[in-house]
Structure 1
Amino acid sequence: MYLSRDVLISLIKILSVIVLAMLLFSIGLMIGYGVIGDGSPMHVFSRALWQHIFEFIQF
């Protein structure tokens, strides 16, 4: 019982770090595209923008 509780706590910590990293990455994208890039901050999540970016960097 004690071991499974430690494993559960460790998994919760790992998932918390992953969720926090994804949240901070999204906020960074919004700031970079909206403030620095003079675009709409919510437009950074559009599929068309990411398709354009991937087409641009493909060889």
Structure 2
Amino acid sequence: SGLEGLSSAVYTRVLGWTKEELDVLLAKVRREMKDRTIHSYWPIYVVYGQKPEK
């Protein structure tokens, strides 16, 4: 799922968590991601532009 790659640096280096603490958290996150009773939505904004021709 890529969760470990996305979160390991922040939780271990910045927040000072141990690898074991992070593994416990990620196990809970994975379990909740599989829970079909949870419906999560995040607003996503897409901004784009185009360089003028001249």
Which range, TM-score by smaller chain?
Answer: 0.3 to 0.5
Higher relative contact order (CA 8 A, sep 6+): 2
The TM-score, its normalising length taken from structure 1, stands at 0.32
The TM-score, its normalising length taken from structure 2, stands at 0.34
Hey, which of these two has a bigger chunk of helix by percent? 1
